[in-house]
Amino acid sequence: MLGTELLKGQGLGNQLFCYVTTRCIALENQLPYSILGSETVANNMHSSCGMYFMDLDYGMPSAKEDYKQVYNEKEDRIFIGNSRHDLTHGCYVTGVDEKLLHPADYTLLYGNMQAERYYMKYKEDIKQWLKVKDEYDCMEYCRDNLCILHLRCSDYLDCPELYLRKKYWKDGIRNMKKINPDMEFMIITNDVKEAGKILPGIPAYNFDLAKDYSIIKNAKYLLLSNSSFAYFPAFTSETVQYILAPKYWARHNVSKGYWASEQNIYEGWHYQDKQGRVFTWEQCLKELEEYKKKSTLYQKLNVKPEGVVLLGEQVKSRWRYSKHRCLRLMRGIIRKINLVLKGKAGNYK
């Protein structure tokens, strides 16, 4: 038997990765599977509704005591002053863990488990496992000239290395209009108010969990954030024609070549860099392999900085956070000034 435990605090996207990967590896190794912690599915910081729009099969009942060993997926980290997290805990850059693919019987798995190598072979099975119930499957926004944007806002706001800048979305909209000049846009988000500040004029919604999920799943064009929530809707989609996501994923804002993590380079996707240039997933993989050969960061993989080097990285981290806060403050002031000016202009009409 092969098992995994879904943890309190995990978002739905991360939970589905653990669920799918464990089930696929069990299938590949001809083992029964068991999902512990199923009561936590879709009960987290973003929702408390539970998994009501899918019938997930959690396999055989089991307890932690039933397993002979625990296997933690390997972790490779780069320690760098792009953020407090990356300097303290390291930036997660892990690729495929080959050992995870061949576990012993009665192993309990833990990890990120987001590499397509773990589950791609069973894509058609996964579509059935994660099938949205008919009564929740929203097709209303499946149109040839509509692109769905997925903005992850509130819980990323104080993370300058993670929170996608307005420029990313503006560049993405411009690139989508190259595909179809008549393209229209709609936002699915966890924070409608913040989304309205970033992209005023584009309708933004936070429906119930099932509707948000199925709108993304049934879209024809997707402009995504660096959030795992949108992955499986996109992966299981029967309608999607083009997916654009941030290059370097969780370190789009700060990376000069590394991915956080390389597990998030997905087949068929396109990735946009800070300059608004678009790359295929194959180009991203090739670039990363070349970068890893030359990068001093990869030469110091999993090594924490010390002494003068650590001090320099700490200064860099503090500067980045201070700059981020100042920019947010300035943008807020500018927005308020613009609102006042618009109000005065309206009074003169």
pLDDT digits (tens, 9 = 90+) for 304-340: 877 777 667 666 666 665 665 666 566 667 666 766 6
79 near 86, Cβ under 8 Å? yes
Q: If we measure between CA atoms, which residue out of 217, 210, 222 comes closest to residue 238? A: 217
Model pLDDT, residue 238: 97
Model pLDDT, residue 46: 59
Tokens matching residue 124: 């058609």
CB atoms under 10 Å from CB of 43, counted, come to 18
Q: How many residues does the chain have?
A: 349
Model pLDDT, residue 321: 53
21 near 126, Cβ under 8 Å? no
Q: Is the pLDDT of residue 187 over 70?
A: yes
Q: How far is CA 37 from CA 56, 109, 182, 210, in A?
A: 13, 13, 46, 21
Which residue in the block uniquely carries the two structure tokens 């805990």? Answer: 89
Q: Is the pLDDT of residue 111 over 90?
A: yes
- 87 vs 72, higher pLDDT: 72
Q: What is the dihedral of CA 157, 162, 164, 165, to 10 degrees?
A: 80
- Please report which confidence band the pLDDT of residue 78 belongs to, taking 50, 70 and 90 as the band edges: very high
Handedness of CA 187, 190, 196, 199 (dihedral sign): negative
Model pLDDT, residue 18: 98
pTM metric for this prediction: 0.88
Cα–Cα distance for residue pair 165/327, rounded to 1 Å: 11
Q: Is 34 helix (H, G, I), strand (E, B) or coil?
A: strand
Tokens matching residue 271: 């990735």
- 279 vs 314, higher pLDDT: 279
Cα–Cα distance for residue pair 96/166, rounded to 1 Å: 32
Instruction: Tell me the average pLDDT across 79-107.
Output: 92
Q: For residue 221, what are the β-bridge partners?
A: 147, 242
Model pLDDT, residue 120: 98
Lowest mean pLDDT among 18-22, 221-225, 302-306: 302-306
Q: Is the pLDDT of residue 303 over 70?
A: yes
Cα–Cα distance for residue pair 130/63, rounded to 1 Å: 24
